[in-house]
Amino acid sequence: MVVGVLALQGSFNEHVAALRRLGVKGVEIRKPEQLQNVSSLIIPGGESTTMAKLAEYHNLFPALREFVKTGKPVWGTCAGLIFLADKAIGQKTGGQELIGGIDCTVHRNYFGSQIQSFEAELSVPELVSKEGGPETFRGVFIRAPAVLEVGPGVEVLAEYPVSSTSVLYSSSAVQIQEENALPEKKVIVAVKQGNLLGTAFHPELTSDTRWHSYFMKMGSEAQEESPSSIVPVGGVDPSFNEKARIDLPIYQ
Amino acid sequence: MAGTGVVAVYGNGAITETKKSPFSVKVGLAQMLRGGVIMDVVNPEQARIAEEAGACAVMALERVPADIRAQGGVARMSDPQLIKEIKQSVTIPVMAKARIGHFVEAQILEAIGIDYVDESEVLTPADEENHINKHNFRIPFVCGCRNLGEALRRIREGAAMIRTKGEAGTGNVIEAVRHVRSVMGDIRLLRNMDDDEVFTFAKKIAAPYDLVMQTKQLGRLPVVQFAAGGVATPADAALMMQLGCDGVFVGSGVFKSGDPARRARAIVQAVTHYSDPDMLAEVSCGLGEAMVGINLNDKKVERFANRSE
């Protein structure tokens, strides 16, 4: 099983490292052709505007949308979740392109800037029932988005309570397309729709590999009928020539 | 990695775990900036150009390093009003510089809610002996270094991200390369060293022993390391990435060039595709004039990098 990790910017190395700990090979994806050789895709955390610009330049969006349409598993963390959402608010002036697929509305930088970044123990009943382990998961929220509302077909996997009087991040660049009149008591931070998974926090920044393992199981369910994927031989594999990069550790 | 008796990785707050915010959250943002380019901007318009070009963050300041060199005088923290305006004009993270040792400038920057503070040698140092105690802040800091010892000293003080000092504002990448090679070289040396020799090595580079040992075990710095100081072209940016950095700061290099928007885009591409020469060739074409820059053979050029240890 070969998992692709979109490697335009951000925490792709961390995802590859987490996959390696599960014994799965992660391949860095920078061009549309490379998507043909992978059976599932992870879109890492990072700066979503940067990734959108780079994806646009390489004409990746059509290929990514095609990938999602074929029903192959895709997991977006933080910036990746923004890409997979059908609708996003809090975008820069002029907006940014999305891949879409999860019927939800996501708010960029929901919790504010870096000072408001935090870690929280999240209650994740669905994950625990499939993967076992401790009842809670250590969610690392870095300038994180939040899902404000979901459509009927979307499963909510984790929520985070916010006080209804908390000041939301606002700037003159934010284009609020609809009014958020109701004060939120809880915002959604992990969603699943079909073979699409989205988390607003960063499992790849922790040593807890349950989300990666959960995603791999989504992949293997989808793979039951198709033949085992062959690791690509043709084309230039840039990682071949590069010295193995020694990477940052995963948190304990 | 868990339970192997190895020297602690993140989150164990070896000596000064702050109650304010866990170190892991501070470093987390740096990890999200990896593979990206952070650009110096002096007004909201430049900030928007940078965001459009694909910068993963902007550094807000009143004068880019090249201008600080040209104009002289004392360079201090920028007007918070300017920084606020820049912050309002973009959705990507915003950083700003504070003078070395000037913890009140850092407090002000934290109060206006930007994402990162750069304790920078480009500004005139406020304290010749001491740096800011970065553990006292919720906001994460990025600090410059010329060698491994300096990098680890800054990390022990609480820096959550490291960059090379290079020689800012010169458009000359020679010093940045020197500093990266020095850090990487020392790490390579350290990795092959006998554990018993690490005590003396730590003394020699004047760095805390626990961080030296952690670096030895990780085989790299325990935090994200960017390149900075003199990057002017896509080739420069890719060079720094291939030498082992996690990302690049570009200061005067973008907005002092002939076609800033185009050059900014090209540098962002170069950092993503740093090991793909065909891509690098493509993005380097037709960029217009690069910043002129300063040749460091001239002895009269002030060395910002030597301002602090």
Q: Label residue A246 by pLDDT band (50, 70, 90).
A: low
CA distances from B218 to A17, B62, B271 (A): 13, 38, 24
Determine contact, residues B104/B127, Cβ cutoff 8 Å: no
Indicate the annotated binding residues of B.
Answer: 40, 169, 181, 230, 251-252
Q: Label residue B290 by pLDDT band (50, 70, 90).
A: confident
User: Does B103 map to a domain?
Assistant: yes
Tokens of B10: 């993140």
pLDDT higher than threshold 70 for residue B231: yes
Residue scoring higher pLDDT (A247 or B252): B252
| DSSP strand pairing (A102-107 vs A146-150) | antiparallel
- The reported pLDDT for the residue numbered A225 is 41
User: Does B309 map to a domain?
Assistant: no
pLDDT higher than threshold 50 for residue B11: no
Question: CA triplet B276, B278, B281: central angle to 5 degrees?
Answer: 110
Q: Could you say which of A173, A205, A246 has the minimum Cβ distance to residue B31?
A: A205
Q: Is B116 on the interface with A (CB under 8 A)?
A: yes
Contact B29 A143 (CB under 8 A): yes
Residues of A in contact with B21 (CB under 8 A): 117-118
pLDDT higher than threshold 70 for residue B83: yes
pLDDT higher than threshold 60 for residue A157: yes
* Alpha helices, DSSP H, located in B244-306: 252-255, 260-272, 277-284
Q: Summarize pLDDT for A113-143 with one digit per residue, the tens.
A: 888 888 888 888 888 888 888 888 888 898 8
Q: How many domains does chain B have?
A: 1
| B 58-77 residues with CB < 8 A to A | none
Q: DSSP letters of A13-56?
A: HHHHHHHHHTT-EEEEE-SGGGGGG-SEEEE-SS-HHHHHHHHH
- pTM for the model: 0.83
- Using CA coordinates, name the residue in chain A closest to B116: A114
Q: Summarize pLDDT for B129-148 with one digit per residue, the tens.
A: 999 999 999 899 999 999 99
- CATH number, domain of B140, equals 3.20.20.70
- The reported pLDDT for the residue numbered A92 is 72
Question: CA triplet B259, B264, B265: central angle to 5 degrees?
Answer: 105
User: Does B144 map to a domain?
Assistant: yes
- The reported pLDDT for the residue numbered B28 is 83
User: Does B8 map to a domain?
Assistant: no
User: Does B177 map to a domain?
Assistant: yes
Q: Label residue B299 by pLDDT band (50, 70, 90).
A: confident
Q: Label residue A245 by pLDDT band (50, 70, 90).
A: low
- The question of whether B97 is a catalytic residue gets the answer yes
Nearest to B117 by CA among A9, A143, A79, A115: A115
pLDDT higher than threshold 90 for residue B7: no
pLDDT higher than threshold 70 for residue A89: yes
Q: Could you say which of B22, B55, B115 has the minimum Cβ distance to residue A50?
A: B55
Domain that holds residue B123: 23-288
User: Does B299 map to a domain?
Assistant: no
What ipTM, to 2 d.p.? 0.79
Of the ranges A169-173, A204-208, B195-199, the best mean pLDDT one:
B195-199
User: Does B298 map to a domain?
Assistant: no
User: Does B282 map to a domain?
Assistant: yes
Residue B195 CA, distance from chain mean position: 30
- The reported pLDDT for the residue numbered B250 is 94
Q: Summarize pLDDT for A201-236 with one digit per residue, the tens.
A: 999 888 888 999 999 888 776 655 444 444 433 333
Contacts of residue A97, Cβ cutoff 8 Å, sequence gap at least 6: A52, A55, A56, A61
CA distance B215 to A59: 39
Q: Summarize pLDDT for A28-46 with one digit per residue, the tens.
A: 999 899 999 899 999 999 8
